[in-house]
Chain A
Amino acid sequence: MKSALKWDVIAKCGTTKARAAVLTLPHGPVNAPVFMPVGTQGTLKGITPDQIEGLGCQIMLNNTYHLGLRPGQELLDTCGGAHVFQGWNRNLLTDSGGFQMVSLLKLAEITEKGVQFESPHDGSLMLLTPEHSMSLQNSIGADIMMQLDDVVSSLTTGPRVEEAMWRSIRWLDRCIKAHKKPESQNLFAIIQGGLDPALRKQCIEEMVKRDTPGYAIGGLSGGEEKDKFWRVVSQCTDLMPREKPIYCMGVGYAEDLVVCVALGVDMFDCVFPTRTARFGNALTATGTLSLRQAKFKDDFRPIEEGCDCIACKSYTRAYLYTIVTKETVGCHLISIHNTAYQLRLMRQVRESIIEDRFPQFIHKFFKDLFVEKSAYPEWAVNALKSVNVDLIQGEEQL
């Protein structure tokens, strides 16, 4: 299949499966591993495009389903796509609208044809087929588009999982056929198969045959046990083509990012940083600060020492305590900080891979975040052990 991207691995970790790369897309280069902030409705929660650029963000997400509703396909066609619409000149990635199937399940009816949604806004019916999703995504004009997949919750068991996997392959074929702009937009396939290694293997085999510019691991981040989650991720990265970017959808929390990078994942997205910001929670390397708590009343330190975002350069926790959740500026500041935090984390991860000291970075990261080894999440310890990083014993050997 035609590709509109270039994937150049510039360094590989000597210990884990991690790699650092440059992903060149139509709207510019992206340093990988990369975390993509989510601007669902064509905006990143009160942050201007200039500010997002200022944070060093090179790619962000928009949501096809939501943009398809508002402003709608016609308007996007008129103005020339989502980039122009929101004043964002760097890269965009759109998901197909498929995830809403899981999240809005009460309102969706899934058939071979497609997914019929009852719009939560006004109850009207919308049929999302692979063809319609491609059409919408072509109008949006994102640099990376995701296939419409039949997503099941990772907690689902039984024949439904396999059914969804095969259907996703069939829908991938329909997507490829319907995709009108492969020379400027990259279609990524999404590996399904739930938590079943056999199904995953089969899915990968089939989808690799379709030779899309990149691949995503889908159907996870739905509340499944973390221990199962990492094993699926690891299996996928083992079997997926290494000369293409690998994207794990819906991941997430800082420790998840670090572990998944070690397991070989290159791209991530998650609403968490911007969403939690609106509730006044700031992410730092040593944990989350819930700035609504009265204990910050007299804490005159910035959110995070050494952070160069506008929130940390300007204000103290004490002042932020007075305005979070009460003034929109408070919300903007924490959103900016959390996005800066996530992007900085990935930058540090990438640098450590390039300098081949990623294992040391991992050790330090977990120590800063969890302090006591007994507090390290077991799944993370196991996952990292599988790629030769022993969080509990290993530090001494470095």
Chain B
Amino acid sequence: MTSPLKFQIKQASTKTSGAGESARCGTFALSQPASTVPDQQHVKRTIETPGCLMYSQKGAVPHLTPDNLRQQSFGGVNVSLEHILQTDQPGSFSKWPETSPISQFNGYKFTLSEYLRLQDLITFCDLRDYSFAADTFRHPTSPPAKKLASNTDHHTVLSTPKGIRQLTLDGYLKTVRHYRPDVVVAMADTIAETTTPNEKRVRKSVERSLKWLDQILLERNGQDGTIADRRVEEEKKRRRERKEKKRNAAAAAKAAGEQQEHEQKQEQDQVHGEYKKGEEIYIEPIPSEPWTDVGLFVTVGGAHLEESRVWSAQETAKKEGVDGFVIDTLSLSELDKDSRLKHVQTSLAHLPENKPKLLYGLHAPEDVLEAVAMGIDLFDTSYPFQLTEDGKASLYYYGPRPAGQDKSNSNTLRSINLWDDEHGDKFVPILEGCGCYACKDNKHTRAYINHLLKTHEMLATVLLMGHNMYQYSQFFTLVRESIQDGTLQENSVAFGATFGKEPIRTLEKHPNQVIVEAALQKRNQRLDGAEEGVVGVIGMGSAVPSLGAAVGAEDVEMEDGNKSNKKRHESDEAGEDGGSKDEVVEKKVKKAAESSSSPL
């Protein structure tokens, strides 16, 4: 089967020996990047590796509207299924309007890329949000990621916006068939209910994941991958039915009295006779719709047990049809960075060189350098996102100091926190010479962003995110160049010497943020009645000006305004749904049931 993905390694670094030997540059793309639908001019971008997929929440990259998003050079987006699986029917958006001209083209199926309007970006679909799994700068006492219930032989557990959901293999397959992302990660048993799994649990997870992988590979090729499961289900069903019949027969016999006993006994024998124990149940195989146009990445796990990691990698490497690997680190989050990297190395050693590997969590720049040196090709952009949430802006660079940056970064800081008072009167961009839309042409200054943070305005995170993403992509560009010209090792050493390590993330908000939020609360109390408004943003969010608090200055003032139009514009009121007059009654009834305001 020809792969829908193309990964070409450009040049493995041969100029340096020892550390960095495994680093390589490549291009990761679809075999068919151009859309085949008429009137659709989209061509999927290529990802240069080492490179990134963009981190998203609910299918959208945080803070970036589509136009601002496209200014970033990253070639793909990582979409977590657990963010977007909303209903029981995963294909809810297969109900695309029939009137659309596109839908009239040979039953064209709408894909996840269409729905999320990412037709020009590689859509990579994983089950869960692992981006913060193994942060090396997580505060040691910060609350662990939500611990879910354990996966079972039959399902994996997801944490969706509407609650915990169990995703069965059937559900997973149905989702993939409907969503048709460019790349999907195979459903696997990633251990989420504990960060210190025991040996038995680890072995079970590898075993389960491999079993599911076999089934997924069969299904992908159009064969019946779930026939064994269905046979088991059928057997269980028959056993249940038999028991039920026996019970009924016994009850009937008792009621009828002893004269019937003999007759009943005969009947029971008949029941037994229908199915002989040990006889195999025949299940009609269902030919399934193949999805060989979807790329498949597989997670190699094994937690912290070397043997399991080797086993997982070796067995997975044998399978045909796997386009790439995700190196699991979710279960390593309790370990120190070096141990984590050691386990990553273990997995890598048993995986084929010619396929791309993705790594979550080890995404601070210095961690990226170590992972790249081992041969990791893909990361995600949750690092710049985390910085943004904290009000920070990146200043680090890789390789020789870029020209024009001398003025603003003479301290060689890796980042600044725009909440700090010292930026309040600095009418310079975050980083002189930076080409992002925040810094370009000195359009937005540190003083302005400081002001935006202090006034709880959302533009702050829009500007910071744009900048941090841009800086991250610049970093990767320079890393790739270094691999090409053999300077990876020396530049990485220099980077470590200049910028050190990412500081551990604090648990507390910045003191200025605390002041601002306290003042906001006080003001609302003083003015007697402005509600907090709507729900805050889901996610790390410790510094994000939440939408709730973004009920800004003028909202308070408009309290009494325009009451005469209130009927038609009920939406004025904080926290209430608007809607036409017809909806009002319907809404009151539904309001109890609807959980539209409840956060994760």
Contact = CB atoms under 8 A, between A and B. Distances in A.
A47 interface: yes
Contact of B557 (A78, A99, A326): A99
A63 B556 CA distance: 14
A326 B115 CA distance: 18
Nearest to A253: B565
A330 B550 CA distance: 14
Interface string A23-56: 0000000000000001011111111111100100
B459 A46 contact: yes
Interface stretch (B233-241, B316-324, B349-357, B445-453): B445-453
Given A85-B448, A276-B572, A50 B437 contact: yes
Contacts of B537: 326-328
A252 B451 CA distance: 28
Contact of B115 (A43, A253, A310, A316): A316
B30 interface: no
Contacts of A159: none
B75 to A, nearest CB: 18
Contact of B86 (A153, A311, A322): A322
Contacts of B424: 71, 75
B561 A223 contact: yes
Interface stretch (B59-67, B221-229, B407-415): B59-67
Interface string B455-480: 10111011100000000000000000
Given A104-B527, A279-B534, A290 B66 contact: no
A143 to B, nearest CB: 19
B579 A87 contact: no
A331 B117 contact: no
A272 interface: yes
Interface stretch (B89-97, B327-335, B392-400): B89-97
Interface stretch (A162-170, A291-299, A386-394): A291-299
A250 interface: yes
A293 B577 contact: yes
Given A279-B578, A290-B577, A292-B577, A328 B58 contact: no
A86 B442 CA distance: 11
Contacts of B463: 48
A300 B547 contact: no
Contacts of B63: 328-329, 332
Q: Is the interface of B mostly helix, strand, loop or mixed?
A: loop
Most buried by B among A223, A252, A272, A327: A327
Interface string A292-318: 111001101100000000110111101
Given A38-B554, A252-B562, A46 B457 contact: yes
A332 B97 contact: no
Given A281-B578, A292-B596, A66 B553 contact: yes
B86 to A, nearest CB: 6
B198 interface: no
A280 B571 CA distance: 9
A11 interface: no
Contact of A271 (B427, B457, B554, B590): B554
Contacts of B117: 314-315, 319
A246 interface: no
A43 B457 contact: yes
A276 B569 contact: yes
A79 interface: yes
A79 B477 CA distance: 35
A328 B544 contact: yes
Contacts of B574: 279
Contacts, number: 244
A275 interface: yes
Contacts of B526: 106-107, 120
Nearest to B69: A329
Nearest to A324: B534
B443 interface: yes
B519 interface: yes
B184 to A, nearest CB: 20
Given A79-B447, A300-B93, A279 B575 contact: yes
Interface in B38-61: 57-61
Interface residues of A, number: 84
B594 A326 contact: no
Given A253-B569, A271-B554, A298-B92, A222 B560 contact: yes
Nearest to A333: B65
A18 B35 CA distance: 49
B538 A223 contact: no
B428 to A, nearest CB: 11
Interface in A59-112: 63, 66, 70-71, 75, 78-79, 85-87, 99-100, 102-104, 106-107
A230 to B, nearest CB: 11
Nearest to A89: B443
Interface in B391-433: 424-425, 427
Nearest to B459: A43
A47 B462 CA distance: 8
B26 interface: no
Given A70-B451, A294-B594, A78 B580 contact: no
A225 B67 CA distance: 42
A86 B445 CA distance: 8
B438 to A, nearest CB: 9
B559 interface: yes
Given A85-B448, A253-B569, A327 B594 contact: no
B558 A103 contact: yes
Nearest to A295: B583
B579 to A, nearest CB: 5
Contact of B457 (A41, A229, A333): A41
A294 B64 contact: no
B578 A328 contact: no
B562 A223 contact: yes
B391 to A, nearest CB: 14
A224 interface: yes
Interface in B86-131: 86-87, 92-93, 95-97, 100, 115-117
B486 interface: no
Contacts of B576: 279
Contact of A46 (B60, B448, B458, B557): B458
Interface string B149-175: 000000000000100000000000000
Given A41-B451, A71-B451, 12 more contacts: A48-B462, A79-B445, A86-B448, A106-B528, A272-B569, A275-B555, A276-B569, A322-B59, A323-B58, A325-B534, A327-B537, A332-B458
30 contacts: A40-B554, A41-B451, A41-B553, A42-B451, A63-B553, A70-B451, A75-B447, A79-B427, A85-B445, A87-B448, A103-B556, A103-B560, A223-B562, A253-B562, A279-B578, A287-B580, A288-B579, A290-B583, A293-B596, A294-B594, A298-B92, A300-B93, A318-B92, A325-B534, A328-B461, A328-B537, A329-B61, A331-B547, A331-B550, A333-B65
Which 8 A-B residue pairs are closest in the complex by CB-CB distance?
A103-B557, A46-B458, A290-B578, A120-B523, A281-B571, A223-B563, A87-B443, A325-B534
